[in-house]
Amino acid sequence: MRLRHNPKADIAVENSEYVEQDPKSRKSRWKEVFGNENPIHIEIGMGKGQFITTLAVNNPEINYIGIERVPTVLYKALRKQEELKLKNLILIAFNADEIGEVFEQGEVERIYLNFSDPWPKDRHASRRLTSPRFLEKYNGFLKKDGYIAFKTDNRNLFDYSLIAAAEAGWKTRNITYDLHNSEFNAGNIMTEYEVRFSSAGVPINRVEIYRD
Ligand SMILES: C[S@@+](CC[C@H](N)C(=O)[O-])C[C@H]1O[C@@H](n2cnc3c(N)ncnc32)[C@H](O)[C@@H]1O
C-alpha cells in the first residue's frame, strides 16, 4: 500500500493507547489484555483497517488484533479506532516476520490474510504471507480447529498458496475463484483493495486453509 510517509502518523502510532507498543511482552497473555476469554482473530497486513474494524463492530464477542508493518498506513486504521474506541480491537505496528514471538500455541482462532503482497519474483517467495515459512509460524499459535481465511485478486499468488499449503501439510476448503458470485459471499466484508479490484471487474479468490 503506497502512502507518502507521514512522520506525524509515526508519532501518533508510537503514542497511541490503541496500539500495543510491545506485542512480544503480551505473548500468552492476550486474554488478560482484552480482559475476557473471548476468541482472538487476527488480520496480518490489515492496511487501512476497514475490514477488521467492521468485523470488530459487528462481532463484539470476538477480540480482534490488526497487524500492519507500515505505521503511516496503520495510522488510517488508528483514526477509525480513535473515533469508535472499540474495546475488542487492538492494533500492532509490526512486521509479521516476528509473529511467532507474539502469540502462544493455541492463542489465535483465526488468521485473516487479505490481498497480501504477491512478491512475484521467485527469489522473494518466502516473503509471501502464505509461504511454507509463514505457515510454519502460524502453526505455532493457531488453535486446533482454527483456520486461515485468505482472499486475493492475484490468481498466481492464489494458485501458489494452494500448492504451498498442500506441500506444508495443510488442507484447503471452500475454494472460490469468484467470491462475489459464489455461495461463500454471504456475510463477506470487503477490504479497501477488494473494493478497488472488484469495481474494476477483477474476480476475487478466497480459500480457507486449515489443519486436521
Ligand atoms: C496490498 S495491501 C492490502 C491491505 C488490506 N489488507 C486490503 O485488503 O485492503 C498489503 C498490506 O500488507 C502489509 N504487509 C505486507 N507484508 C507485511 C508483513 N510482513 N507484516 C505486516 N504487514 C505486512 C503492507 O504494508 C500493506 O499495507
Residue 117 designated active-site: yes
70 CA: nearest ligand 1 atom: 25
Sign of the dihedral defined by the CA atoms of residues 70, 50, 4, 9, in that order: negative
State if residue 192 touches ligand 1 by the CB under 6 angstroms criterion: yes
Tally Cβ neighbours within 10 Å of residue 104.
14
State if residue 67 touches ligand 1 by the CB under 6 angstroms criterion: yes
pLDDT digits (tens, 9 = 90+) for 26-69: 999 999 999 999 999 999 999 999 999 999 999 999 999 999 99
Backbone angles phi, psi at 76, to 5 degrees: -65, -40
State if residue 46 touches ligand 1 by the CB under 6 angstroms criterion: yes
Q: In this structure, what C-alpha cell is assigned to residue 111?
A: 488468521
pLDDT digits (tens, 9 = 90+) for 137-176: 999 999 999 999 999 999 999 999 999 999 999 999 999 9
Q: How far is the CA of 45 from the centre of ligand 1 (A)?
A: 3
How far apart CA 75 and CA 8 sit, in angstroms, is 9
Q: Class of 7-210 per CATH? A: alpha beta
pLDDT digits (tens, 9 = 90+) for 15-29: 999 999 999 999 999
How far apart CA 93 and CA 177 sit, in angstroms, is 31
What pLDDT is stored for residue 2 in this prediction? Answer: 65
How far apart CA 47 and CA 62 sit, in angstroms, is 20
How far apart CA 50 and CA 133 sit, in angstroms, is 27
How far apart CA 180 and CA 184 sit, in angstroms, is 8
pTM of the complete model: 0.97
State if residue 117 touches ligand 1 by the CB under 6 angstroms criterion: yes
Pocket test for ligand 1, best of 3, 5, 20, 44 (most atoms within 8 A of CB): 44
What pLDDT is stored for residue 192 in this prediction? Answer: 98
pLDDT digits (tens, 9 = 90+) for 88-105: 999 999 999 999 999 999
Q: In this structure, what C-alpha cell is assigned to residue 194?
A: 477488494
Given 117, 122, 145, 153, which residue is catalytic?
117
What pLDDT is stored for residue 7 in this prediction? Answer: 87
How far apart CA 88 and CA 75 sit, in angstroms, is 18
Instruction: Give residue limits of the domains in the chain.
Output: 7-210
Torsion, Cα of 127, 128, 131, 136 (10° steps): 60
Nearest CA, atom 15, ligand 1: 45
State if residue 191 touches ligand 1 by the CB under 6 angstroms criterion: yes
Containing 42, the helix (H) or strand (E) segment is: strand 40-44
Q: How far is the CA of 43 from the centre of ligand 1 (A)?
A: 9
What pLDDT is stored for residue 6 in this prediction? Answer: 86
Pocket test for ligand 1, best of 10, 70, 130, 133 (most atoms within 8 A of CB): 70
Check if the beta carbon of residue 104 is closer than 8 Å to that of residue 129: no
How far apart CA 141 and CA 187 sit, in angstroms, is 26
